[in-house]
Amino acid sequence: MAPYEDPTRPIEQRVSDLISRMTPAEKAGLMCHAPVAARPDGGLAEESAGPLPTAPTTHAVRDLHLRCLALMAPVAAGPLARWHNRLQDLAAGSRLGIPVLVSSDPRHSANENPLTSVPSGGCSRWPEPLGFGAIGDEELVREFARVIRAEYAAVGIRLAIHPMADLASEPRWCRAAGTFGADPDVVGRLAGAYVEGLQGARLGPGSVAGMVKHWPGAGPQAGGEDAHFARGKDQVYPAGLFELHREQFRPSLRAGAAAVMPYYGRPVGVPGLGEVGFAFDREVVAGLLRRDEGYDGVVCTDFGLLTAAVLPDGSLWPARAWGVEHLDRAGRALLLLDAGVDQLGGEWCPEVITDLLAAGRVSEARIDESVRRVLTVLFRLGLFDDPYVDEERAVATVGRADFAAAGAAAQRRAMTLLSNDSGLLPLASGIRLYVEGIDPGLAAGHATVVGRPEDADAALVRIAAPYEPRKGLPEAFFHQGRLDLPDRQREHLCALAATVPTVIDVFLDRPAVIPELAGCAAALVADFGAGDDAVLDVVFGHARPEGRLPFELPRSMAAVEAHPEDLPGGTADPVFPLGHAADTHAWHPRAAGPGNG
């Protein structure tokens, strides 16, 4: 038995021994964090099947020596456990038997953007992180993260590419749903609680490692455009609040986050920082993060800083190398390594690193720094001692009834009553109800569903927050642009409200400019990822909405456009301010009667 294989030895000794045995190619493989797919039957996927390219799994593990793989596929628990064990078998057959660390974007919420989340694959369903920001309960966040830990670990996912500790200060930013909102008194502490729930008191065999993102704070995107795309490459700080955004990461770092991911954006006008993507700037990684915060964990870039992606329609999605677009892949990689980055997210090109080493442009000692950090995580998670999972246990754990019940309860708690001046809510059971955007069959369990507003005692409508659809992949996946309703939709909803008392529930994946609805609806409710059953339970009084707005709802697009992108809240005369909620203390079911239809 080699020293690195001996579980009785200290991890530091095991890591050092293994590094001494590794070739440059094996080391470089650990410095790429590539996306992979899995077949529905649990087989290894060798071709891309989704909207984004993925690495051919066998080639990546066997030939390129990759050992950190981000799973992009929504596979059910049994086949996913089978896939994971096959993957570990493949790795075990290599010269040194280094196991694979499987990672994933979020799988437990309502977001359907494949670039920022993964369909559940049977995991319990919870509100978006915004919903936890609305509730503001640290222990609930820990409970949620412990459920993620249980469900992920059961199928072999041992690194969560979350949480987001970003402050959603710019109302138009399309990534708000993945944050805990815009309240600086809430966001950082909930992100820290999330890391605690994932990892436990100390990273170990029972943990799922957390990768907190997007250092030192995405959110203040110029004009609200996202840095996944060239038009949104700039982050701006007209209110001078760079430090407020950075501060949100400290609770996660204190909790021992195993990894940190910088964002794509390039800061504009921040003293001491270059106008290049955060990961390329030595002051951002080696300075602010490692020197000032004392962080010595893994730093992994956001995906696709080196290599352009060829999409299924043949179009090219450029690498997000903002500020250094003129450099080739080797030049970009060299900047990243000099900045203090350990892993190239979304890449499977270890030859770029070995070529830099062979040319003398980077030292093997510098490569060993990053390899040591990555291997330390693998050892601490216990992957070298037992990387396998039990398929039966995976099936029994993922989507477990108590996990599902807790997620359903959180969906209801997170809902936020915005207005109820008429006192219409809770609706009385058995009334005649007209519905739009909600399952009539489910509604029939609470009321008599009618087909015309004129025949109803009340109407219940579910809508999504407005956005401007963008053409072409991958930008079509992101909800960006204006926050106000299209004229036709606004006129329809106001006309409906003039016909019958109308309750409108808005799914807020980012703020909405809806002053007309606040004026015409009998009651206005917000959800942050909730099923129709949850919405019906709340509006009929069987569950109390406990949320408070995790961001404000501006009065106009003019107010949004005049607002500093880095300032949380503070638009002119908002319809509903940050932290708003109408009173729900007397919330309870109401029976139908002479005054209730």
Does 210 share its domain with 134?
yes
- Asked if the structure places residue 20 within a domain, the reply is no
Does 439 share its domain with 510?
yes
Does 116 share its domain with 244?
yes
CA 18-23-25 angle, to 5 degrees, is 120
- Asked if the structure places residue 59 within a domain, the reply is yes
- Using the CB atoms, write b or e for 120-150: b if 16+ within 10 Å: bbbbbbbbbbbbbbbbbbbebbbbbbbbbbb
Last residue of a domain, one of 374, 400, 426: 400
DSSP state of 311: -
451 burial type by CB count under 10 A (0-12 exposed, 13-18 middle, 19+ buried):
exposed
- Asked if the structure places residue 16 within a domain, the reply is no
3-state secondary structure of 33: strand
Last residue of a domain, one of 377, 400, 423: 400
pLDDT tens-digit series, residues 105-161: 999 986 666 666 566 679 999 999 999 999 999 999 999 999 999 999 999 999 999
Q: Which residues contact 381 (CB under 8 A, 6 or more apart)?
A: 101, 158, 203, 204, 205, 207, 209
Does 342 share its domain with 447?
no
The pLDDT value given to residue 116: 63
The pLDDT value given to residue 312: 87
Does 254 share its domain with 163?
yes
The span from the CA of 274 to the CA of 323, in Å, is 9
The span from the CA of 412 to the CA of 400, in Å, is 19
Identify the helix (H) or strand (E) that includes residue 153.
helix 138-155
- Asked if the structure places residue 405 within a domain, the reply is no
Catalytic status, residue 302:
yes
The pLDDT value given to residue 113: 62
Q: Is the confidence at residue 313, as pLDDT, over 90?
A: no
User: pLDDT class for 415, splitting at 50, 70, 90?
Assistant: very high
Give the residue from 544, 530, 550 showing the smallest Cα distance to 125.
530
Average pLDDT, the chain: 96
Across residues 54-60, what is the average pLDDT? 98
Give the residue from 303, 393, 388, 390 showing the smallest Cα distance to 341.
303
pLDDT tens-digit series, residues 440-474: 999 999 999 999 999 999 999 999 999 999 988 88
Does 39 share its domain with 104?
yes
The span from the CA of 99 to the CA of 92, in Å, is 6
Q: Which two three-digit tokens encode residue 515?
A: 């002053």
Q: Which residues contact 255 (CB under 8 A, 6 or more apart)?
A: 192, 193, 195, 196, 199, 210
Return the CATH number at 475. Answer: 3.40.50.1700
Strands 432-436 and 448-449: parallel
The pLDDT value given to residue 112: 62
Give the residue from 587, 532, 572, 593 showing the smallest Cα distance to 171.
572
Does 367 share its domain with 437?
no
Q: Is the confidence at residue 595, as pLDDT, over 50?
A: no
Does 121 share its domain with 227?
yes
- Asked if the structure places residue 167 within a domain, the reply is yes
**CB-CB contact of 462 with 507 (8 Å):** yes
Alpha-carbon Rg for the chain, nearest whole angstrom, is 25
Among candidate residues 105, 226, 234, 302, the one labeled active-site is: 302
Number of compact structural domains in the chain: 2
Identify the helix (H) or strand (E) that includes residue 166.
none
Does 385 share its domain with 466?
no
The span from the CA of 354 to the CA of 25, in Å, is 6
The pLDDT value given to residue 458: 98
**CB-CB contact of 218 with 266 (8 Å):** no
- Asked if the structure places residue 423 within a domain, the reply is yes
- Using the CB atoms, write b or e for 545-575: b if 16+ within 10 Å: bbbbbbbbbbbbeebbeebbbbbbbbbeebb
DSSP characters for 215-241? ET----BGGG--TTSGGG-EEE-TT--
Give the residue from 25, 93, 32, 27 showing the smallest Cα distance to 58.
93
- Asked if the structure places residue 554 within a domain, the reply is no
Strand segments, DSSP code E, in 500-585 are 502-507, 523-527
User: Range of 145's domain?
Assistant: 28-400
Does 161 share its domain with 266?
yes
Does 128 share its domain with 257?
yes
- Asked if the structure places residue 576 within a domain, the reply is no
Q: What pTM value is reported for the model? A: 0.96
Q: Is the confidence at residue 339, as pLDDT, over 60?
A: yes
Across residues 361-381, what is the average pLDDT? 98
Does 385 share its domain with 262?
yes
pLDDT tens-digit series, residues 259-275: 999 999 999 999 999 99
Q: Which of 42-51, 84-93, 447-456, 554-563 has the lowest mean pLDDT?
A: 42-51
Last residue of a domain, one of 545, 568, 587: 545
The pLDDT value given to residue 597: 46
Return the CATH number at 370. Answer: 3.20.20.300
DSSP characters for 382-450? TTTT-----HHHHHHHTT-HHHHHHHHHHHHHH-EEEE-TT--PSPBTT-EEEEESS-HHHHTTTSEE-
Across residues 520-549, what is the average pLDDT? 98
